[in-house]
Amino acid sequence: MGAGKKILNGMNKFYSFMTSLGIIVLAVWFIASWMGVDVQGKIEEAVEPGKKYVEAIKASSLQQYSTEPLGEVLEYLHSEPKWTFSESNGKKFVEFTGLYYSEMENYELQLKFELLDNGTFEVSYVAVDGFLLGNMEAVVFLRKTFNDYETIRQATNQINNS
């Protein structure tokens, strides 16, 4: 029975320690929040670096094609959408990948947006099924993508309103 008491006593100490630690963490969190520190934002940034950049690109638009948010357009048209952040040679990038299926064509899209120092971004890479598109091809492809979005969305709205 002596071993059982030691184990039980050790478990009680462990639970007491964890409870105390939890209370201290919560107290620090509440005090930091009260002082205006965005604790949750800092934790999210540590866990997912670049999330704020991904969210900013998703909420932005490519004005030459549409005022709709990029995230809405791309996620509406593509299944299995994936957004990632990366840094290379001092530059920051947000990349979108997704699969497009229609009666006419199927492809995997890769779009890479470079974040510029002035707070804007530009499309730096457009690839379809791993094939990198040239500048003119990319412009035509993006125009078609945004036109498809508008056409499909309007048709869906007409069906839903009928």
pLDDT tens figures, 18-74: 788 778 878 877 787 788 877 777 766 666 778 889 999 999 999 899 999 999 999
- Which region holds residue 114: left if phi is over 0, alpha if psi is between -120 and 50, else beta? beta
Return d(Cα 124, Cα 115) in angstroms, integer.
10
Distance (Å, rounded) from C-alpha 5 to C-alpha 77? 63
User: Is the Cβ–Cβ distance between 47 and 87 less than 8 Å?
Assistant: no
Instruction: Tell me which residue has tokens 């069906």.
Output: 159
Model confidence over 74-128: pLDDT tens digits?
A: 999 999 999 999 999 999 999 999 999 877 889 999 999 999 989 899 999 999 9
Adjacent-strand bridge partners of 121: 115
Task: Using a cut of 0.85, tell me whether the model's pTM lies above it.
Answer: no
